Structure 1
């Protein structure tokens, strides 16, 4: 068994991080741009978010095709379970946020484009439902800061304090 993730998994991991950064950045930037650019920045946020969704689907597919390389030295069983659960939390978060974003648009009754095509209205607009879905979307997105931060700190803990190969398994290179 390999001691590193497959090259495709490594590339998708870092590409997903880039898209997550761009998604969050676009939303944060929307408060600072002139009104003329607000809709462009929101559209970028939407499309970056959808790209995260697609990348996460590919990552799930690759996770089924490739075994997870073991951590050396091995983790205690409770740590391994916690690591697995936390990674699935990340997958769930970055799959659910784009879905909630799409539902926010749909319940808002707004016309929107996907890859240059007009998406038809497929749910009955409902401002109450829109506000609820948007609130959940924003709450989960805000919790994403914490979850991403814990993920990064855990990798650094494993690398610098525990001295295992957790971080090296996902780093680009040889």
Structure 2
């Protein structure tokens, strides 16, 4: 989707207000969180990409968002190609750090479940909880463990397989 198409979508959701490709959703267009959620939902449906609300904050103009959508589509394709050979939890952790919880979830097979702490909810909600609100970073593997750092916390990702399928376990990893 190009910047002009995104601007047209925003214009429609902003009751026909004029939107140019370089207008900032929040500063120039007086956007708010409810409109942002509508935009993200519409873009997710129209593009088929796992777009998140945080993406609009990181790419607040139609031009920046179009560029982000291209990047997201390309990176998901690359991650999917890597995973086609064999499931690799490290690839999912990379996607979580780079692209966010919805993108990481989009890479997981439907039968995979997720457990994080006492968290209960959807895989995306648990991945968002694991990722945290800010940036997270994939750390080099230590003894086969897939690790990410968010803030002062390091989390360990591990797979557990049984007759019910594959379960990804996310736990605090001791630092020290």
Structure 2 length-normalised TM: 0.23
| Structure possessing the higher relative contact order (Cα contacts under 8 Å, 6 or more residues apart) | 1
Structure with more helix by fraction? 1
Structure 1 length-normalised TM: 0.23
Structure with more strand by fraction? 2
